[in-house]
Chains A and B, each alone.
Chain A
Amino acid sequence: MSTISDLSSHHATIRAVLAAAGQIILGKDAQLKLALACLLARGHLLIEDLPGVGKTTLAHVLARLLGLEFQRIQFTSDMLPADIIGVSVFERTSGSFQFHPGPIFSQLILADEINRATPKAQSALLEAMEERQVTSEGITRPLPEPFFVIATQNPAHQIGTFALPESQLDRFLMRIELGYPDREAERALLAGADRRTLLAALPPMLQADELKQLQETAAAIHVSPALIEYVQAIAEYTRHGGPFVNGLSPRATLGLLAAARAWALLEGRPHVLPEDVQAVLPGVVAHRLQVGGAAGQVLGDAFAKAGGNAIGRHLIEAVPLP
């Protein structure tokens, strides 16, 4: 259990991290905050957007600031699971097989363009995400703690890509879009120094165990019965009331609550408010819900046109606070 003073010191740390990150990634405060919340909730993050909008930079910045060991895996269509997990190589000197860990043995993974890889390679990563351990040649090896995957994906309906199936999308706690920078941010970007230089100069602001503490604090944030009722009402709506094919899974509602707790921590609150749920809701649910049914036909088109946030927005406004 954390005390209030704990909480305020944590809050100060987090604000400092966010401020520092905001220096490099311009005009993306909301997305930065969501990404951090996702990490604090021990979830994995999927970023879906066009190339060049700063997905890689975001991952880099988070890794540097949080003092995490960072690895980038560029997914390609000829990638094999071994390229991710690692291989056992016969070493002549010792006369035995030696395991050479792959890039996945790292604290923060940037899985770039994950939908370019074959489903086989994708599932190797996704399994590791889920189990937080890797099994190769009969030996199970734990992944480092904390373990955090930021996967990026180009928008769907592109030729030559393998879209992630829904069941695998469910393993990502959040999906966010970065989008183009606004005018002002873009000007600052163009006028300012090279991001890479800035990145290199970034000092780590947390020790690894400090991050763990933060995660624990987030998990301990108080959730009142009234709030659980609200989350249930949202789930209930997606399952029966709304224009969706399938409702939210229990994994999704658990994730929603965890993300809301992390968000409350970012806001410096000792308890979760409906606003915290609403803040993370679009990120948590948009990739898990599919619009369908008779009423949803046209609604779905509208959602598709209005972008990923529309489903979240719709949910927020459709479900009254209990």
Chain B
Amino acid sequence: MGKRDLSPTPRRLFRKKNACLPPLTLVQGWWLFATALAALLPLIQHLPLWLSTAAVTGMAWRAWLSWRNGRLPPRWLLFLLVVAACVAVAYSYRGFFGRNPGIALLVIFLALKLLELRSVRDGITVVLLACFLLMAGFLFNQGIAAALYALAALVVAVAALIALQAGPPVRVHERLGQSASLLGQALPFMLVLFLLFPRVQGPLWGLPQDAYTAASGLSDTMAPGSISQVAQSDAIAFRVQFKGAAPPPHQQYWRVLTLTDYDGQVWRHHPTREHDALPYAPAGPSVDYEITLEPHNLRGLPVLEKAGLLPPESSFSADRLVLAATPVRSRMRYAMRSYPDYTPPPEENARILAAALSIPPEVNPRTRAQARQWRAQSSSDADILRAAAEFFQSQLLAYTLNPPLMEKDAVDAFLFEHKRGFCEHFASAFAFALRAAGVPARIIGGYQGGEINPVDGYFTVRQYDAHVWVEAWIDGWGWVRVDPTADSTPRRIEGGLRTAIGGGEAPLLARQDYAWLREFRYRMDAVTNAWNQAVLGFNPQRQREVLGRLGMSEPDWRKMSAWLAGLCGALILALVLNAMRERKKHDATRHAWQIFLRKLARQGIDAQPWMGPDTLARRAAAQLPQHAAAIRAITAAYVALRYGDELPPELRRRQTAALRDMIRRFRP
């Protein structure tokens, strides 16, 4: 209840900047410090080392100054620091444009603004910068924990905003309580806006390449033999919800990309013409499912063979891939239909067939010799395929995640020397052999298998399910899928990676002995998936679906805006009504007395709020002599109730009723 005089602001023609703004107190400074710290913490690990170090140093400097009650650094020094930092950012990121340099600049501004806190306005700038950085943190992590952290940080930020206002000093937890209360009131607005604000599919403009750092088990090049250790990640690649039962494992081949160009070492993807016509005729029942794809920065969308429809803004490529318009850089959800059975097209584009036959001369001579032998012995391409498969089985090839290095003539080395490798070796060797024998063949990259999460029923495919296999063109059959890995070591396909290799070699989650860990992981995945589906995957399309399910027919932005305005209005009204409600203890005696005072006031007897009942009664009786007796009686009853001895409740109630009655009958 303290009171503080504000000196009247003198009106000057030339006012020194900030001259009229009240300086910040130490407590306000600490709140802003906490806010900035909370906003910076999640970003630290994503910044280059020099920047995190600089930001932490700046914060520590500020804390030390606050602690020692020291003077803030002079403006020219801060200016130099800003310039230096900007140059450093420009050098470190080669420019200012893009997401990461932007965040870096904001971090620098925030850290330096803390050293320049002089007025309330500076404080508000800090809070707003902190809010922006909290959002920037979501670029790196949008998990549940990150969301909860941001919410907690926001409570601190809003508390800082309140602390900047001229209120009575309160303790820290009370301040946080005020903040949480305000945010709690804001929460319904957030829900309504989240649901109804008409969503626009981003991006609004081209994003710089550094925006995508998502890791994937797939890439559009493949060089078997050049790596000896496969990094197996158990990150989720995508989740599938089947309408009906999941197809059997031998049909769980998720095509993503094709690798057609081979230079003797590296297989590369070669883009083909795109169109949106279905290149074959379905025969048999369809499999319907919905995929939630984690961003993988590729255009190919995982689909089961053979894709039967196109998600919005996608197309078929000539090699039967389903391609999104742009590389997938945010979590995406699409419905898909596949036909395991189909009528193959009678012929294939000559150029594609030619590309599927090209091999560089001189490499892998032993395999070539073997292929020439097949060609000589076989009457058709189908026979060659069969012969090749038999040959692979006869070679007793072993599946391992730690193959030896095979740098020159990798296929020969794999087939005839080491005989150990993983799917890339198998597929590469098989495709090369077929091509050498004159059978058009290409490598397909994608995923194979996956597992059902028993908690929420989602079919989950992880990065360690990434796989490559081969497709060969056989006249009359079309493109035929051949999985040399499976043919040689069938357990890989039927039982998944866990069974294909020994216990010590597989990633932790792929092992079978950690059942409880898998159980826990299933649950976590289910929660994360629900979060991804409901919150993170809430895009314009999903919004329309949800609103449609809620009963809004054909939701468009007009309807959404109307509903949004209506609901927000209702919320505001509820808030106002709740806020304006006077919380007052009801006291019947006082209430009756107030009525009496109002009746007197109508007679021109102005009761000052400080006047005691006796004073008032005497005054009223003097002005209304004809009612003097009634006035005295009412006053006596009121005084006895309010100031007299404690009465038993029953008696008190009766006397209050009597007082009310007297006042009601009092008509001056």
Q: Chain B 267-296, CB within 8 Å of chain A: the 1/0 string?
A: 000000000000000000000000000000
In Å, the complex CA distance between A273 and B608 comes to 16
In Å, the complex CA distance between A278 and B611 comes to 9
Of A226, A241, A278, A320, which contacts B643 at CB under 8 A?
A226
Of A224, A274, A275, which contacts B644 at CB under 8 A?
A224
Between-chain CB contacts (< 8 Å), 18 pairs: A222-B645, A224-B642, A224-B643, A224-B646, A226-B642, A240-B1, A240-B2, A270-B644, A272-B643, A273-B639, A273-B643, A275-B612, A275-B613, A278-B615, A295-B3, A317-B608, A317-B610, A321-B609
* B417 touches A (CB below 8 Å): no
Q: Chain A 289-307, CB within 8 Å of chain B: the 1/0 string?
A: 0000011000000000000
* B407 touches A (CB below 8 Å): no
Q: Do B5 and A294 have beta carbons less than 8 Å apart?
A: yes
Shortest beta-carbon distance, B74 to chain A, in Å? Answer: 34
| Residue on A nearest B589 in the bound complex, by CB | A226
* B220 touches A (CB below 8 Å): no
Q: Given A240-B2, A241-B1, A273-B614, A320–B642 Cβ distance below 8 Å?
A: no
Shortest beta-carbon distance, A212 to chain B, in Å? Answer: 24
Q: Given A222-B645, A273-B643, A316–B610 Cβ distance below 8 Å?
A: yes
**Could you say which interface size class chain B belongs to?**
10 to 19
* A18 touches B (CB below 8 Å): no
In Å, the complex CA distance between A226 and B639 comes to 11
Q: Do A271 and B644 have beta carbons less than 8 Å apart?
A: yes
* A318 touches B (CB below 8 Å): yes
Q: Chain A 305-322, CB within 8 Å of chain B: the 1/0 string?
A: 000000000001111110
In the complex, chain A residues whose CB is within 8 Å of the CB of B639: 271, 273
- The B contact surface, by secondary structure, is loop
Interface residues of B, Cβ cutoff 8 Å to A: 1-3, 5, 608-615, 639, 642-646
* A189 touches B (CB below 8 Å): no
Of A224, A270, A278, which contacts B612 at CB under 8 A?
A278
In the complex, chain A residues whose CB is within 8 Å of the CB of B642: 224, 226
| Residue on A nearest B609 in the bound complex, by CB | A320
In Å, the complex CA distance between A241 and B645 comes to 31
Q: Do B610 and A275 have beta carbons less than 8 Å apart?
A: no
* A227 touches B (CB below 8 Å): yes
Shortest beta-carbon distance, A246 to chain B, in Å? Answer: 14
Interface residues of A, Cβ cutoff 8 Å to B: 222, 224, 226-227, 236, 240-241, 270-275, 278, 294-295, 316-321
> Which 10 pairs show the lowest CB-CB distances between chains A and B?
A320-B609, A274-B612, A275-B612, A240-B1, A224-B643, A275-B614, A294-B5, A271-B643, A271-B644, A226-B642
Shortest beta-carbon distance, B201 to chain A, in Å? Answer: 58
Q: Do A275 and B615 have beta carbons less than 8 Å apart?
A: yes
In the complex, chain B residues whose CB is within 8 Å of the CB of A318: 610
In Å, the complex CA distance between A226 and B609 comes to 15
In the complex, chain B residues whose CB is within 8 Å of the CB of A294: 5
In the complex, chain B residues whose CB is within 8 Å of the CB of A320: 609-610
In the complex, chain B residues whose CB is within 8 Å of the CB of A275: 612-615
Can you name 10 extra interface pairs (CB under 8 A) apart from A240-B2, A275-B613, A275-B615?
A222-B643, A227-B643, A236-B1, A240-B1, A270-B645, A275-B612, A295-B5, A316-B610, A320-B610, A321-B609
In Å, the complex CA distance between A119 and B644 comes to 45
Q: Do A271 and B614 have beta carbons less than 8 Å apart?
A: no
In Å, the complex CA distance between A317 and B610 comes to 6
In the complex, chain A residues whose CB is within 8 Å of the CB of B5: 294-295
Q: Do A321 and B645 have beta carbons less than 8 Å apart?
A: no
| Residue on A nearest B7 in the bound complex, by CB | A294
In Å, the complex CA distance between A275 and B3 comes to 29
Q: Given A222-B645, A224-B644, A321–B615 Cβ distance below 8 Å?
A: no
In Å, the complex CA distance between A213 and B368 comes to 130
In the complex, chain B residues whose CB is within 8 Å of the CB of A273: 612-614, 639, 643
Q: Do A319 and B610 have beta carbons less than 8 Å apart?
A: yes
Q: Do A321 and B643 have beta carbons less than 8 Å apart?
A: no
In the complex, chain B residues whose CB is within 8 Å of the CB of A271: 639, 643-645
Q: Given A226-B643, A227-B643, A274–B613 Cβ distance below 8 Å?
A: yes
In the complex, chain B residues whose CB is within 8 Å of the CB of A274: 612-613, 643
In Å, the complex CA distance between A317 and B612 comes to 11
Shortest beta-carbon distance, B289 to chain A, in Å? Answer: 70
Shortest beta-carbon distance, A5 to chain B, in Å? Answer: 16
In Å, the complex CA distance between A270 and B640 comes to 10
In Å, the complex CA distance between A275 and B613 comes to 8
In the complex, chain B residues whose CB is within 8 Å of the CB of A295: 3, 5
In the complex, chain A residues whose CB is within 8 Å of the CB of B645: 222, 270-271
Shortest beta-carbon distance, A259 to chain B, in Å? Answer: 16
In Å, the complex CA distance between A240 and B282 comes to 86
Shortest beta-carbon distance, B665 to chain A, in Å? Answer: 24
In Å, the complex CA distance between A298 and B646 comes to 44
In the complex, chain B residues whose CB is within 8 Å of the CB of A224: 642-644, 646
Shortest beta-carbon distance, A177 to chain B, in Å? Answer: 23
| Residue on B nearest A277 in the bound complex, by CB | B612
In Å, the complex CA distance between A226 and B477 comes to 99
In the complex, chain A residues whose CB is within 8 Å of the CB of B643: 222, 224, 226-227, 271-274
Shortest beta-carbon distance, B503 to chain A, in Å? Answer: 75
In the complex, chain A residues whose CB is within 8 Å of the CB of B615: 275, 278
Shortest beta-carbon distance, A231 to chain B, in Å? Answer: 12
In Å, the complex CA distance between A318 and B138 comes to 56
| Residue on B nearest A319 in the bound complex, by CB | B610
In Å, the complex CA distance between A77 and B611 comes to 46
In Å, the complex CA distance between A106 and B609 comes to 45
In Å, the complex CA distance between A278 and B609 comes to 13
In Å, the complex CA distance between A274 and B609 comes to 12
Q: Do A222 and B610 have beta carbons less than 8 Å apart?
A: no
Shortest beta-carbon distance, A198 to chain B, in Å? Answer: 33
In the complex, chain B residues whose CB is within 8 Å of the CB of A227: 643
Shortest beta-carbon distance, A297 to chain B, in Å? Answer: 11
In the complex, chain A residues whose CB is within 8 Å of the CB of B609: 320-321
In the complex, chain A residues whose CB is within 8 Å of the CB of B612: 273-275, 278, 321
| Residue on A nearest B608 in the bound complex, by CB | A317
Shortest beta-carbon distance, B11 to chain A, in Å? Answer: 21
In Å, the complex CA distance between A270 and B643 comes to 10
